[in-house]
Structure 1
Amino acid sequence: MRPAHICLAVLVAAVWGVNFTVIEVGLDHFPPLLFSALRFLVAALPAVFFVGRPKVAWKWIVSVGLVLGVAKFGLLFIGMDAGMPAGLSSLVLQIQAVFTALIAFAALGERPTRVRLAGMAVALCGVGLAALDEGASGPLGAFALVVAAAACWGLSNVLTRKASPPDSLNFMVWVSTVPVLPLLGLSLLTEGPSRDLDALRALDPQGAAVIVYVAWITTVFGFGAWGRLLHRYPASTVAPFSLLVPVFGMSSAALLLGEPVGPLRWGAAALLVAGVALTSFAAPARVHLADVPAQERAREPA
């Protein structure tokens, strides 16, 4: 990867890491599914009127919208609302890199090299060490929901790679239109109209700031940039950068929420960074040319 793209991937990881702390704050203001619906509503409007018409087939917009918006974020918000701490959630969610690599191998023929596999193994050791440090602080059901969210994120990474949108911002804004109504419907059914209305009536500046951050910074910028990277590089190259998210997630949770970060946790962070470095500077993954869009095969690196 080019140095500028490595920096962009790290910046996205930082934005997503801090996002877990912001979500924790937001869940004090909104029920989880309503919160997620508002996130995508604000991400889509008014941007959808300025980004132009969709530049990929609607099947990709709808599929990524449902998998990423409804499934991944719905499960994550419910899991955190059920008791998963922000720092632990930022950690557990990063097993999406494993799901991404497995799905990319099955669907796209992307075969990671040995060095890249070793880097992922080192990073996942860091995840395991941090999980050991955290202990069983979250309920088992909430833990399982976040694991399921990680699997959905991995699938959405590969769907985005397959869609290969030429304009990542355009793609993410249109994807954000898809989850709004399904999430609102699920919220009304499971969380109840009265709870939703009470949350909306009690909206204050802090709640509004939370929505702006998770909508415009995390969703539009974060996933727009992430999609651009996935369009340019194999999913198994981009995905390991998400392993940096717990470094920023645990740090922000410690600073802003008072969650403890001990020596084991910092050791885990060191392993995560080392694993990502190995993965980043390894030789490119082998990809079946038939599975790569023609325009991407013809494009020379800029």
Structure 2
Amino acid sequence: MTALAAAALFGAATPLAKALLDDMSPFMVAGLFYLGSGLGLGIAMIIRRLRTPAATRRPHRISRDELPWLIGAIAAGGVAGPALLMLGLSITPASASSLLLNLEGVLSAVIAWVVFRENVDVQVFLGMVAIVAGSVVLSWRPDDIGMSLGALLIIGACLCWAIDNNLTRKVSANDAMMIACVKGLTAGPVNLAIAFATGGFAAHSWHDAPTIGAAMLTGLVGYGVSLVLYVAALRELGTARTGAYFALAPLIGVALSFMLWPEWPSVAFWVAAALMTLGIVLHVRERHEHEHTHEWLEHTHRHTHDAHHQHEHDFPYSGDEPHTHAHVHPPITHSHGHFPDVHHRHPH
């Protein structure tokens, strides 16, 4: 459900971004989206900390070994990806851009399966194919397709985001809000700097406070909250499955567009909806169970005391669940249904 919620929020932001592009350059919109995300989540983290009793506060720190993964994710997805996308959008028809953006989910899954050895079975693969096929049907415009420079730039953006998704999975056990906040506070200023360097700071738009506020609020919800949910889904489902669910974002965006600008959906919309629904059903019906071994592991994340979290506490514990603290998983071998979540990244 978290992956679907992330897709819904991100998809809803797309038609709103289109409306904002009438008054701002693409880089300025992207910068304000990310900045609104980072600042909003930062304020939320401060409020969360103030509301947590001092005796039960546990630190949220990314380990030194995980920092390269996070830095790589920010560089690929927060800096290189948006830059390549905006450059590609400036010389590529919108319909072709929408079609090419479907490659993000495909490339994310390929990297997850080939490079990081995330498990995949026939049912999950077919579900991914159905969802991507639905995305293609939704955005297919045969007259606009071609391997122009703009198309190659957009494909490059998709590759950057696919790398971002897989690298973020490596740190997804950490506080999702902190990860999304750091990404926003890094990518926002970078994109605004690009807007400034390329003349995207139009005087009338920069001094239009309501428009700027709307952009930052849209970024907080469509990018910030969506990314928090996406990181949580990576923790529970793995990269390929989360990417498949997130591919529903274009369908949600189109559905919202129909509500904002009423018109009867085309046949392509219904075909795409049917294919994506089939893909979701195939994923939801997945049953992956076998005997597997958990190696010794120490990490920090939000958890309850289920079969994988039977541990003692070295601090005053009130019994409240779920809670967050550093804990150790001793080696154990057992069999149960599971996804490639943060505790089940074992070879097959």
> 2: CA distance between counterparts of 1:200 and 1:292?
54
Runs of 4+ in 1 over 6 A off after TM superposition: 288-292
Question: In the TM superposition, what whole-angstrom CA distance separates every residue of 1:19-55 from its partner, at most 9, and x where no partner exists?
Answer: 1111111211221122222222222226436637762
User: Structure 1 residues 253 and 150 mapped into 2: Cα distance closer, same or farther (>3 Å)?
Assistant: farther
Larger strand proportion, structure 1 or 2?
A: 2
Residues 237, 285 of structure 1: 8 Å contact kept: no
Partner of 2:250: 246
> 1: CA distance between counterparts of 2:24 and 2:275?
35
Partner of 1:230: 234
Give the aligned residue type for 1:59.
P
Residues 68, 153 of structure 1: 8 Å contact kept: yes
The one of 5, 12, 17 equivalent to 1:11 is 5
Residues 40, 180 of structure 1: 8 Å contact kept: yes
Question: In the TM superposition, what whole-angstrom CA distance separates every residue of 1:186-225 from its partner, at most 9, and x where no partner exists?
Answer: 2233x22xx41425445252442133112x1012210001
- For these two proteins, the number of residue pairs brought into alignment is 289
**How far did 1:77 drift?**
4.0
Partner of 2:194: 186
Question: Is 2:105 the partner of 1:105?
Answer: no
SS at match of 1:178: helix
Question: In the TM superposition, what whole-angstrom CA distance separates every residue of 1:51-109 from its partner, at most 9, and x where no partner exists?
Answer: 37762244333222222212223333444454543x76555423222111111123321
**How far did 1:299 drift?**
4.7
> 1: CA distance between counterparts of 2:149 and 2:265?
24
Residues 31, 187 of structure 2: 8 Å contact kept: yes
Give the aligned residue type for 2:39.
L
Give the aligned residue type for 2:137.
L
The one of 255, 272, 276 equivalent to 2:276 is 272
Greater C-alpha Rg: 2
The one of 84, 103, 112 equivalent to 1:95 is 103
Partner of 1:3: none
> 1: CA distance between counterparts of 2:29 and 2:289?
38
Residues 112, 285 of structure 1: 8 Å contact kept: no
Partner of 2:127: 119
Partner of 2:175: 167
> 1: CA distance between counterparts of 2:91 and 2:263?
17
Relative contact order, CA 8 A, sep 6+: which one is greater? 1
Partner of 1:59: 68
* Percent pairwise identity: 20
Q: For 1:68-87, list aligned pairs within 5 A.
A: 68-82=77-91, 84-85=93-94
> 2: CA distance between counterparts of 1:220 and 1:251?
21
SS at match of 1:28: coil
Give the aligned residue type for 1:278.
L
> 1: CA distance between counterparts of 2:289 and 2:104?
18
Larger helix proportion, structure 1 or 2?
A: 1
User: Structure 1 residues 259 and 79 mapped into 2: Cα distance closer, same or farther (>3 Å)?
Assistant: farther
> 2: CA distance between counterparts of 1:159 and 1:135?
34
Give the aligned residue type for 1:135.
P
Partner of 1:31: 25
